[in-house]
Amino acid sequence: MSEIVGVVGAGTMGNGIAQVAARAGYRVVMRDVSDEFLQRGMSAIDKSLQRDVDKARLALDEKAEIIGRIETVTETSALAGAFIVIEAVTEDLRLKRELFKMLDEVTGPDAILASNTSSISITKLGAATKRPDKVIGMHFMNPVPVMKLVEVIRGIATSDETHARVVELTEKLGKTPLECQDSPGFVSNRVLMPMINEAIFALYEGVATRESIDGIMKLGMNHPMGPLALADFIGLDVCLAIMNVLHEGLGDPKYRACPLLKKYVDAGWLGKKSGRGFYEY
Ligand SMILES: NC(=O)c1ccc[n+]([C@@H]2O[C@H](COP(=O)([O-])OP(=O)(O)OC[C@H]3O[C@@H](n4cnc5c(N)ncnc54)[C@H](O)[C@@H]3O)[C@@H](O)[C@H]2O)c1
């Protein structure tokens, strides 16, 4: 297989997507803004694949082949030969719009432009290009090599052909595509985030301790993680941003972010990544 998958962004999600695409046999061109970010992405891929080697789920030479299929670049022109580019840069509408405009110029006319955004409108990203029919959401879950789901999001102009090609690619990556329309939070975050937000309200109102809230949801609902621990894992700033997208986009007060969530974000208590959230790390 010599088809090229372009990946923009070598962070948590981008390097995971590059890894699964290379493992499925595709050549990958991964782009980030500096060599430092690219190296960090490649070392995350190396570590993740090494875990599979250690567990005898992958041969050492296969690991080397997978890594050999990934080319890292800072130049956007290197994405010209890709049949699809999957964007996984920082969650910022202006940045993503500019990037889609640029990708529209550098890629071939048939190339699909996909975004891994958690909350930005695919229709808006499509409107930044001259090919909105070829713009689509591919919402991978974290950690990408482990999680089976790809939420496939259709913008208002996304064509059936683009959708079909993305479903086929997702299956080749060993993932399960599930379709949804472009709507704030899509399905995953529209259902997940209000649950997390409600758990924060329960803590805020003194209904129960953090341990009780998480324990009740784990033992009672069979969730692998409690909602507060999950919020810490996702990042409280990310949770707040998504609640704001739901609130603004759907206009219903039931989506208002809990004041305690705002306060934690103001304090810089962002969860696992900052050493403190609802738990201490
Ligand atoms: N982390 C998650 O759990 C998760 C889950 C699903 C979706 N997402 C979405 O995936 C996207 C990426 O999130 P992440 O957690 O990987 O972020 P991250 O901060 O780990 O990585 C973002 C990367 O994008 C790079 N970048 C910024 N501007 C760029 C540009 N113009 N060109 C190339 N690279 C650029 C940064 O240097 C960084 O390496 C976001 O849209 C996010 O909403 C994240």
Span from the CA of 8 to the centroid of ligand 1 (angstroms): 9
- The atom number, within ligand 1, closest to the CA of 16 reads 16
**Mean pLDDT, range 11-39, rounded to an integer:** 98
- The atom number, within ligand 1, closest to the CA of 238 reads 43
What share of the chain in percent tops pLDDT 90?
Answer: 98
Sign of the C-alpha dihedral computed for residues 269, 270, 271 and 272 taken in this order: negative
- The atom number, within ligand 1, closest to the CA of 142 reads 3
CB 122 within 8 A of CB 185: no
What share of the chain in percent tops pLDDT 70?
Answer: 99
CB 245 within 8 A of CB 184: yes
The ligand 1 site (C-beta within 6 Å) comprises: 8-14, 31-33, 37, 88-91, 95, 99, 116-118, 142, 234
In this model, does residue 64 exceed pLDDT 60? yes
Choice from 90, 118, 148 to test ligand 1 binding pocket (greatest atom count within 8 A of CB): 90
What is the per-residue pLDDT across 231-262, written as a single tens digit (0 to 9) for each?
999 999 999 999 999 999 999 999 999 999 99
In this model, does residue 120 exceed pLDDT 60? yes
Burial of 166 from C-beta contacts in 10 A (0-12 / 13-18 / 19+):
buried
The strand order across the sheet containing 149-154 reads 70-73, 27-31, 4-8, 84-87, 112-115, 135-140, 149-154, 176-181
- Compute CA distances 114 → 64, 75, 92, 164, 251, whole Å: 27, 19, 15, 13, 27
In this model, does residue 148 exceed pLDDT 70? yes
pLDDT band at 27 (very low <50, low <70, confident <90, very high): very high
Place of tokens 């808006």: 124
What is the per-residue pLDDT across 256-274, written as a single tens digit (0 to 9) for each?
999 999 999 999 999 999 9
DSSP 98-140: HHHHHHHHHS-TT-EEEE--SSS-HHHHHHTSS-GGGEEEEEE
Span from the CA of 78 to the centroid of ligand 1 (angstroms): 19
Burial of 191 from C-beta contacts in 10 A (0-12 / 13-18 / 19+):
exposed
**Mean pLDDT, range 3-24, rounded to an integer:** 97
Active-site amino acid positions: 118, 139, 151, 189
In this model, does residue 1 exceed pLDDT 70? no
- The atom number, within ligand 1, closest to the CA of 117 reads 41
**Mean pLDDT, range 54-83, rounded to an integer:** 97
- The Cα–Cα gap between 131 and 71 comes to 26
Among 33, 40, 34, 2, which residue's Cα sits nearest to residue 16? 40
CB 29 within 8 A of CB 79: yes
pLDDT of residue 223: 97
pLDDT of residue 153: 98
Span from the CA of 14 to the centroid of ligand 1 (angstroms): 7
CB 186 within 8 A of CB 180: yes
pLDDT of residue 217: 98
- The per-residue pLDDT of the chain, averaged, comes to 97
Indicate which residue's Cα is closest to atom 8 of ligand 1. 118
Among 274, 241, 193, 263, which residue's Cα sits nearest to residue 92? 241
Choice from 8, 12, 236 to test ligand 1 binding pocket (greatest atom count within 8 A of CB): 12
**Mean pLDDT, range 178-188, rounded to an integer:** 96
pLDDT of residue 2: 64
Span from the CA of 199 to the centroid of ligand 1 (angstroms): 27
